[in-house]
Structures are given as structure tokens and as C-alpha cells.
Chain A
């Protein structure tokens, strides 16, 4: 008898492990949302907009999946997309990152939604749609736009009578002058995280190499043998003697802090980082985009940088509610709020206005983006991950002295072969 009771108890315990807990019947629509900003300043902004949305739409419940930072986000979203737990609404970078997500077949094309809401969609800045178009369809709505520029300490420049350089030679002259005038490390950089290398190389390759060759090579249809690549890498290496000690051992935020502290005079950063610089720097600053490289065949007015945006899952049970949510976020009002609270530049026309900016420099930033002749995607988004990795790691090894530019390109060519087999 005792044995039977014991068995029954054990059986029930096992059963309880497998039973799912069903929530009480709810008429509320649930949307899962995944983003990459758990921290200030964007974390509170996200929470605020979600709260406003739930207030305005009491029948929709937004369930936020635990947000994680940048690199972890890249990994987690890939895992979630591959699993059955794909979030209803999620954030994505454009270019090849978005392309990978779309390749899974589980992202919803949004052309219908855009066409049905022309007043809303017409407000989004034109140049930002492109990076989210795949196979002729629009898969993401651009949310924040960005550009990668050399921030510089204007106070120091004025003091030493320096001008914003237009060409690489002028740029090196500026660095030399700074070195001779009390700034042993005029430019700061941190390459511990590989992507920081790709932000340099991406812009420099675009400036130096024939755009048709780049397009072919990045599409894995070329052979990466152009001399321009080697020249680009050597120009990149040229900067080493003007940088802080061993950029490979520090990360980007360390480099940014060196700039904010006034120890370095230049730093390649994203326009989205304006607020951080604003909050910390006690000097006047401005920015210029990547100078033209010697022998450069690429358009010197293109701006490196790409929008980040929102995507909707094709398996979302309530696509109309998800679309409402996206339109609520990417609106003039909430775009202005984003610029105000986080310093990021909203893609919605008019969102970045004298009221929402914390510093008029942000208006300059928007002008710079609108003025640019085109967008150069982040290199690790513009080309296959294996090839991008060869460039990024190659850049790191160039700086440690383990590889020459020619050897790095050999690795890139080997990576090309592997990428083609994928």
C-alpha cells in the first residue's frame, strides 16, 4: 500500500514538471518586445514610451524580453529568431545583419503597412529606408539614424590654428602638429572589440577603392585583389603612432573617455554618442567625416553609418497591434522624446528640432546626415560575417605587428572562399 502511494506521489511530481501553467483567460493582446537598451540613457526612454503606449491602448500588453547590451543582443536575437520564441517586435541593424534575420523567413514585410499609412511613413527621412530593403521589399522601419565621424576638440584646434582636414595628408599633418604641441596621443581608439576596426576600415575602403569593385567584392562575386585594399590597411596602420598605447587592449568607451577628458583631441565616434560627449566634455567640440584617401576612387561625401530600426515577426499573432506599436514609437512626438532623453537622432522629420535637442550640435549632425551623398554601411553589416571577421581580426593583428597588409588580404581572400561555401 505504502509503495503505491509513494509511486503515485512520484508520478504526480513528474507530471507537475511537464504541465504548463495556463494564465487565466485574458482579452488583452500580448506583444513581446526585445531591445538592446537595459541601461541609461535609453533604458528609461524605452520604459517611458512603453508605458505611454499601454496607457493609450489599454487592451494591449507589452511584454519586454530582458534587454541585453550590444554584443549579447547580436547573439541573443539570432538564437531567438532560430527558435520558436521569436519576439513579436524587435530591433535590428540594417545591412547584412537585417538580411540574415530576413533570410530566416520569419520577418514580416511591411510594404502594405507603409502604403496604408502614407501620412506617417511620409515623415520618415528618405535616405534611411534603403538599408532595410531586401529583395525589393521593406522589412524594417528606420528608427534612429547615425553617422561615424571624427569628433575633434575645437578649443584646441582654434588654439593651434588648425582646420578640419579634407584629405588624408592634411589629416596626418594635423596629427603631427598636435603631437609637436603637447599632445603625444592626439587620437584615441580602442580595438578590443573587433567592430571598432570595421568602423575605420569600412569608411576607408569606401573612400579608397573603386565603388564598383567594392560592390562586387562585398557581394562575394569579386576576388578582393584590388591594390586599394592593401593601401587602405597601410593608411590605417599609419595612424598607430598617433594613437594611445596599444589600442588593442582597450575598448571604445575607454577611447571615448580619453577624448572627453581632453587627453586626446580626436576620436572616431558615432553621432549617437553626442549626448555622452556633451555631458562630459568641458570644451567646445565639432566633427568632420572621414577625409579623402590618397588615390581614392570612392565618393568623398558619403557618410558611414546606418539606421537602426524595428522589425515585426511574420509569426506575430496580432500584426495590426504590432504595427500600431511601431508607428507609436517611430513618430514625431516619441522621436523628439528619444532625441531629448537619449541624444540619438530620430529618423522622423522634425523630431530633431531646437526643442528636443540638448545641444544645437545635434541639429548640425542631422544636417550632416541629410547632406551626405549616400550611406556607407558598417563593414561588418555590408559583407558576409566570415569576410568581415577576416578584415576586423586582420586590423587587430596589423596593429600588433603580427601581420602585414598583404597577409591580411590573403586571409580575406581565404575567408572569401569559405564564405562562398556557406
Chain B
């Protein structure tokens, strides 16, 4: 409607005052729960304070200096980046490939069965999934029993080693979430008119060419949406890691969100926790802006 109004010259309908009234409650809610905390964080980071008392000690840029020299932050960032890269690999790229395969006429008969199988983990609560994986990854659990079949008694404690703990959490996440993005891509691929693909097949394009030249360009928008949510999710991840390893052993599998939670609620260092929150905010803003730029060039 607005487009037609614009084309009709400079005549634009004045926004009726009632529109502001409808929007007002949501603006208030967002202001209080989203924008206010973000701004207040910048104030909080200048202080050290506890959740239990009202006294604030001014530390100026002390918390920020601490953040830049804290080795745990480096570990957390590294873990978040691993999360991001592996999630992109599974939840974006592999999911897209999987969706394409499932939508191929050859496999369409089994498609529903597979779709459901891949999607069921998404429906299970993360806590249950974590408990399940704690059993599987236990030194006497399923994974080691399986590996023992190939000779030798395997008793590795996957969750108890600094080198593997975070990867356990990451792969648990992929198992849990991949079905969701696969579903999204399936729905998007279904929107592609079959005539296009058939025509390509007749013209002699093989599967890979059909995938790269037809499917990929046409799911571009969904691709970017899934990319944005996966990447930002990877930098904000808390649940999966916290329930499975709590960031341990030591701090080897911690992520920014888990570390922030630890600082705030276990160690009672609210000022420093606010600083970590700001770091996460900055990272998300950078990612969002980068995303917007790519989207624009993508759409163009």
C-alpha cells in the first residue's frame, strides 16, 4: 500500500496517532528489557560490585584492562570460534546438502521418514540431551563401548579432558540443532519450481551442477538467515556447554556466556561480568553489520 502511495506523487498518508498507541507498549517493553540493560552495562563495567550489597567500588577502566589480559577470555573466544566454524559446517552447509538430497525425486519416497528422524532431536529439551550425552561420553559409556569393538578396551574420558571437552559440547549441539536448519532448507527448496530442475536435467546438468547453479542461488535468502542465526548463536551459546561440562575441566570448555555467568553468579563479580557482556554485544554488533553488508550485495 505504501508503494502505491509513494508513486502517486508526494502525497503520503499522515500516520494516525492511534498507530503510536498500538506500538507504545512494545516500545516500553523493549526499552526496559533490552535497551536499558545494554546502556546500563556500560555504566556497570566501570565498577566492581556484588549481587548481595548495594555498594559499588569505582574501578574505571580496570575491568576492561582485565578483560584484555585474561587468558580465560582467550580460551572462551577460541571456543566460540570453534563453535561458529563447526556449526556453519554442519548446520548451514551440510544441512543444505542434506535438504537437497532429501528433496531429490529419487529419495522423495523416504524423505518423510528421514525428515522426522533428523528433526526429533530438536524437540528434546537441551537438559535431557546433555544428560543423554553425559552417559554416552562417559568412560564406560556407549561411545567407548563402540570404539572398543575395533580392538582394545577404550576408556577415554571425553568430557574430562581439556582437549576434547568443548568438542563434545559442539557435536552435541550439532546433533541437537541440525534437524532444524535442514527443515528450513527443505521448505525453501520445495519452493523451487520443479520445471527448472527438470529442464536443467534434460539439458545435461548433473546433480552437483543442479545443486550449485540452481538450488544455491535460489535459497540465498534463507541461506543468509540461517547463517546469521547460526553465527550469532555460536557466539552467544550458553545452555549446551553449561549443562554438559559447566565450562570444565578447569576453564577449557568455557564460552563467553558461560564465563560471564560464572563471574556474575558463582564468583560474584558483577562489574567484570558486565564487561564480558559488553564484549559479546560488540561482537554481535560487528557480525550483524557485516551480515547486513553481505545481504545488500547479495540481494543486489
Contact = CB atoms under 8 A, between A and B. Distances in A.
B158 A396 contact: no
A250 B157 contact: yes
Given A78-B51, A400-B250, A250 B59 contact: no
A246 B59 contact: no
B36 interface: no
B157 A249 contact: yes
Interface string B128-146: 0000000001110000000
A78 B265 contact: yes
B249 interface: yes
Contact of A246 (B157, B251, B262): B157
B52 A101 contact: yes
Nearest to A101: B52
> Looking at chain A's contact residues, is the secondary structure mostly helix, strand, loop, or mixed?
helix
Contacts of B210: none
A195 B62 CA distance: 30
A418 B57 CA distance: 13
A397 B72 CA distance: 14
A75 interface: yes
A378 interface: no
Contacts of B262: 389
Contact of B139 (A81, A103, A250): A250
Interface in B50-76: 50-53, 57, 59, 62, 66
Interface string A57-80: 000000000000000001100110
A393 B72 CA distance: 12
A181 interface: no
Contact of B53 (A10, A103, A245, A397): A103
Contact of A402 (B156, B246, B250, B266): B250
A378 B20 CA distance: 57
B276 interface: no
A144 B223 CA distance: 57
A105 B55 CA distance: 12
Contacts of A104: 52-53
B52 to A, nearest CB: 4
A81 B50 contact: no
Nearest to A421: B48
B26 to A, nearest CB: 10
B250 A246 contact: no
A44 to B, nearest CB: 23
A254 interface: yes
A249 B139 contact: yes
Given A3-B18, A248-B159, A396 B139 contact: no
Interface string A400-421: 1011000000000000001001
Given A385-B268, A396-B249, A421-B59, A246 B52 contact: no
Contacts, number: 114
B25 interface: yes
Interface string B249-265: 11110000000001001
B248 interface: yes
Q: What's the interface size class on A, roughly?
A: 35 or more
Interface string B182-226: 000000000000000000000000000000000000000000000
Q: What's the interface size class on B, roughly?
A: 35 or more
B52 A194 contact: no
Nearest to B24: A14
A252 to B, nearest CB: 13
A323 interface: no
Which of B52, B138, B268 has the largest count of A CB atoms less than 10 A from its CB?
A: B52
A244 interface: yes
Given A245-B139, A246-B156, A393-B249, A422 B52 contact: no
Contact of A247 (B51, B59, B160): B160
Given A244-B139, A422-B268, A103 B248 contact: no
A11 B22 CA distance: 9
B245 to A, nearest CB: 8
A248 B249 contact: yes
B161 interface: yes
B160 A422 contact: no
Given A7-B18, A103-B53, A248 B160 contact: yes
A305 B50 CA distance: 27
Contact of B157 (A7, A78, A245, A394): A245
A81 B51 CA distance: 9
Given A7-B21, A248-B161, 13 more contacts: A10-B22, A14-B25, A81-B51, A82-B51, A192-B249, A249-B161, A250-B139, A386-B267, A386-B269, A399-B160, A400-B160, A400-B162, A421-B57
Interface of A: 3, 7, 10-11, 14, 17, 74-75, 78-79, 81-82, 100-101, 103-105, 191-194, 244-250, 254, 385-386, 389, 393-394, 396-397, 399-400, 402-403, 418, 421-422
24 contacts: A7-B18, A10-B22, A14-B25, A100-B52, A100-B268, A103-B53, A104-B53, A191-B160, A192-B245, A192-B248, A193-B246, A247-B157, A248-B160, A248-B161, A254-B138, A389-B266, A389-B267, A393-B250, A396-B250, A397-B250, A400-B161, A402-B162, A421-B59, A421-B62
